[in-house]
Amino acid sequence: MRAAAQTFAHARRLRRDMTLPEIVLWRALRRKALAGLRFRKQHPMGDCVLDFYLPSARLAIEVDGKAHDRGDRPLRDARRDAWLAGRGVRVLRVPARDVLDEKALEGVLRAIAEAARLAPSGSLRSPPPP
């Protein structure tokens, strides 16, 4: 799914200005460090920018800080997750505090690897180009 030009520009800005939890998780995911899986960071999709995306499993990883618990954010996140699900993308939400805790990070990485392993059959290929 092709994103709008402004979404691509926003994704580029987010890649440069990643939060500390995103940086920590990216270091654990990059260069096929997790089970040989190739993730993308700050990946544009539609009007959204996904924190991390695994195209082979159509899996989005979202790192949620405290702001995701306040105001209308839970509702916005739920609508966004439903929109992505309608396009065949599963979303795994990870609390930022778990990424920053070394022991909890191990569990986060296991959960990501398991979610990728449970990808529906046939989805281990990248989606077709737009």
Residues 45 and 36: their CA atoms lie apart, in Å, by 23
For residues 27-38, average pLDDT = 90
How is residue 70 written in tokens?
């306040």
What percent of the chain shows pLDDT beyond 90? 57
pLDDT number for residue 3: 65
Q: What is the mean pLDDT of the chain?
A: 84
Domains of the chain: 5-71+90-115 (3.40.960.10)
Q: How confident is the model at residue 70 (pLDDT cuts 50, 70, 90)?
A: low
Q: Spell out the alpha helix ranges (H) of 17-130.
A: 20-29, 73-85, 96-100, 102-117
Residue 27: name the closest of 109, 124, 98, 114 by CA.
Answer: 109
pLDDT number for residue 5: 74
pLDDT value at 125 more than 60: no
How is residue 109 written in tokens?
């990485």
Residues 85 and 38: their CA atoms lie apart, in Å, by 21
pLDDT number for residue 10: 60
pLDDT value at 9 more than 60: yes
Span 43-65, pLDDT tens digits: 999 888 999 999 999 999 999 98
* 103-to-29, 36, 65, 96 alpha-carbon distances in Å: 16, 21, 18, 13
For residues 74-92, average pLDDT = 93
Q: How confident is the model at residue 32 (pLDDT cuts 50, 70, 90)?
A: confident
Higher-pLDDT residue of 23, 3:
23
